[in-house]
Structure 1
Amino acid sequence: MAVKSGLAGKSDSWLVVVVAAVAGAALPLAFAPIDWVVLVFLAPAVLFYIAAVAPLRRALQAAFAFGLGQFGVGVSWVFVSINEYGGGGWLVAGLVTVGFVLLLALFPLLAVALGRWAGRARTLPTLLLTLPAAWVLVEWVRTWLFTGFPWLFLGYAALDTPLAGLAPLVGVLGTSFVVALLAGLIACSVRWPSWLSLGGVVVGCSIAVLIGVAADRPWSELAPPPAATANDSTATADDGLLRVALLQGNYPQDIKWQPAYREVIRRGYAQMTWAHLGADLIVWPETALPELYEQVAPNFLEPLAQRVRQAGGLLITGIPYREPGVADAPLYNSVAVFGDETSFYRKRHLVPYGEYVPFRDLFGRSLDFLGAPMADYRRGPVPEAIPATDALRLGVTICYEAAYPRAVARGAKGAHLLVNVSNDAWFGDSLAPHQHLQKARQRAAETRRWMLRATNTGISAVIDPYGRVVAVGPQFIATSVVADVELRSGQTPYVTYGDIPLLMVLAAVLGGVALLAHRRSGAGVDAAEEKR
Structure 2
Amino acid sequence: MRRLVPDRPTLLALGSGLLLAFSFPRLDLASVAWFALAPLFVSMFGRPFRSGFVAGAGFFAVVLYWLNIVMTTYGQMHPLFSLAAYLILVCYLALFFAVTTWAACRLRERLGLSIVVTLPVFWVALEFLRSFLLSGFPWATLGYSQQSHLALVQSADLFGVYGISFLLILSNATLARCWQWYAGRTAGSRPFPLAALTVALLLFAANAGYGFYRLGQGVDVREETLTLGLIQGNIDQSVKWDPTNQEATVDTYRRLSEEAVRSGSAELLIWPESATPFYFQDGGPLAALVREVPQGGAEGLIFGSPAYEVVNRRYHYLNSAFLLSPQGTVLGRSDKIHLVPFGEYVPLKPFLPFIDKLVVGIGDFSPGTVSPLPMNGSEIGVLVCFEGIFPELARDYVAKGSDLLVNITNDAWFGRSSAPYQHLAMTRFRAIENRVWVARAANTGISALIAPSGRIVAQTPIFETRYLTGSVGLGASPTLYTRFGDLLPILLLPFCCFWLVKTRKPSSAALDPEDLLP
The TM-score by the shorter chain falls in which range? 0.7 to 0.9
Q: Which runs of 5+ in 1 are unaligned?
A: 1-12, 226-240
Deviation larger for 243-252 or 161-170 = 161-170
Whether the 8 Å contact between 1:244 and 1:485 is mirrored in structure 2 is: yes
Superposition pairs for residues 45-444 of structure 1, below 5 Å? 45-51=38-44, 54-55=45-46, 58-120=47-109, 125-161=113-149, 162-193=151-182, 196-197=192-193, 201=197, 204-214=200-210, 216-217=213-214, 225=224, 241-277=225-261, 278-295=265-282, 297-301=283-287, 304-305=290-291, 307-309=293-295, 311-323=297-309, 327-339=313-325, 341-364=330-353, 366-368=354-356, 370-381=358-369, 383-389=370-376, 391-413=377-399, 414-444=401-431
Relative to structure 1, the CA distance from residue 312 to residue 44 in structure 2 (aligned partners, 3 Å threshold; closer, same or farther) is: same
Determine which of 427, 432, 436 is the counterpart of 1:449.
436
* 1:488 match: 475
Query: In structure 2, the residue corresponding to 1:30 is in which secondary structure?
Result: coil
* 2:21 match: 28
Determine which of 7, 10, 18 is the counterpart of 1:17.
10
Query: In structure 1, the residue corresponding to 2:158 is in which secondary structure?
Result: helix
Amino acid at match of 2:43: I
User: 1:127 Cα shift?
Assistant: 1.8
Determine which of 456, 459, 465 is the counterpart of 1:472.
459
User: 1:89 Cα shift?
Assistant: 2.8
Relative to structure 1, the CA distance from residue 392 to residue 326 in structure 2 (aligned partners, 3 Å threshold; closer, same or farther) is: farther
User: 1:166 Cα shift?
Assistant: 0.9
Amino acid at match of 2:487: I
Determine which of 32, 35, 42 is the counterpart of 1:42.
35
C-alpha distance in structure 2 between counterparts of 1:311 and 1:490, whole Å: 30
Relative to structure 1, the CA distance from residue 459 to residue 204 in structure 2 (aligned partners, 3 Å threshold; closer, same or farther) is: same
For residues 233-287 of structure 1, the C-alpha deviation after alignment (integer angstroms, 9 at most, x for no partner) is xxxxxxxx31111111111211212222111101111111122234111100011
Query: In structure 1, the residue corresponding to 2:238 is in which secondary structure?
Result: helix
User: 1:199 Cα shift?
Assistant: 9.2
User: 1:92 Cα shift?
Assistant: 2.0
For residues 309-347 of structure 1, the C-alpha deviation after alignment (integer angstroms, 9 at most, x for no partner) is 562421000110113798432000111112475211111
User: 1:473 Cα shift?
Assistant: 0.6
Whether the 8 Å contact between 1:286 and 1:398 is mirrored in structure 2 is: yes
Relative to structure 1, the CA distance from residue 474 to residue 307 in structure 2 (aligned partners, 3 Å threshold; closer, same or farther) is: closer
Relative to structure 1, the CA distance from residue 257 to residue 368 in structure 2 (aligned partners, 3 Å threshold; closer, same or farther) is: farther
C-alpha distance in structure 2 between counterparts of 1:362 and 1:504, whole Å: 36
Relative to structure 1, the CA distance from residue 332 to residue 206 in structure 2 (aligned partners, 3 Å threshold; closer, same or farther) is: same
Query: In structure 2, the residue corresponding to 1:149 is in which secondary structure?
Result: coil
* 1:10 match: none
Query: In structure 2, the residue corresponding to 1:353 is in which secondary structure?
Result: coil
Whether the 8 Å contact between 2:157 and 2:435 is mirrored in structure 1 is: yes
Query: In structure 1, the residue corresponding to 2:147 is in which secondary structure?
Result: helix
Whether the 8 Å contact between 1:221 and 1:488 is mirrored in structure 2 is: no
Whether the 8 Å contact between 2:254 and 2:293 is mirrored in structure 1 is: no
The count of residues paired between Structure 1 and Structure 2 equals 493
User: 1:358 Cα shift?
Assistant: 2.2
Query: In structure 1, the residue corresponding to 2:22 is in which secondary structure?
Result: helix
Query: In structure 1, the residue corresponding to 2:155 is in which secondary structure?
Result: helix
Whether the 8 Å contact between 1:248 and 1:480 is mirrored in structure 2 is: yes
User: 1:224 Cα shift?
Assistant: 5.3
User: 1:91 Cα shift?
Assistant: 1.9
User: 1:291 Cα shift?
Assistant: 1.1
Amino acid at match of 1:37: A
What's the Cα RMSD here? 2.8
Relative to structure 1, the CA distance from residue 435 to residue 305 in structure 2 (aligned partners, 3 Å threshold; closer, same or farther) is: same
For residues 116-158 of structure 1, the C-alpha deviation after alignment (integer angstroms, 9 at most, x for no partner) is 33333567x3320112211111100011000000011111112
Whether the 8 Å contact between 1:266 and 1:289 is mirrored in structure 2 is: yes
Q: Which runs of 5+ in 2 are unaligned?
A: 1-5, 186-190
C-alpha distance in structure 2 between counterparts of 1:344 and 1:43, whole Å: 45
Query: In structure 1, the residue corresponding to 2:37 is in which secondary structure?
Result: helix
User: 1:516 Cα shift?
Assistant: 8.6
Query: In structure 2, the residue corresponding to 1:253 is in which secondary structure?
Result: coil
C-alpha distance in structure 1 between counterparts of 2:389 and 2:256, whole Å: 29
TM-score, with structure 1 as normaliser: 0.85
Relative to structure 1, the CA distance from residue 431 to residue 202 in structure 2 (aligned partners, 3 Å threshold; closer, same or farther) is: farther
Whether the 8 Å contact between 2:234 and 2:464 is mirrored in structure 1 is: yes
* 1:7 match: none
For residues 61-114 of structure 1, the C-alpha deviation after alignment (integer angstroms, 9 at most, x for no partner) is 111111110111111111010111111132221121112212221111122223
Amino acid at match of 2:133: L
Whether the 8 Å contact between 2:48 and 2:105 is mirrored in structure 1 is: no
Query: In structure 2, the residue corresponding to 1:264 is in which secondary structure?
Result: helix
Relative to structure 1, the CA distance from residue 244 to residue 326 in structure 2 (aligned partners, 3 Å threshold; closer, same or farther) is: farther
Query: How high is the sequence identity, in percent, across the aligned residues?
Result: 29
Whether the 8 Å contact between 1:32 and 1:434 is mirrored in structure 2 is: yes
Whether the 8 Å contact between 2:409 and 2:441 is mirrored in structure 1 is: yes
* 2:3 match: none
Amino acid at match of 1:376: D
User: 1:514 Cα shift?
Assistant: 6.3
Deviation larger for 435-444 or 198-207 = 198-207
C-alpha distance in structure 2 between counterparts of 1:81 and 1:319, whole Å: 21
For residues 147-186 of structure 1, the C-alpha deviation after alignment (integer angstroms, 9 at most, x for no partner) is 0000111111123333212111110012111111111111
Amino acid at match of 2:383: T
Whether the 8 Å contact between 1:461 and 1:469 is mirrored in structure 2 is: yes
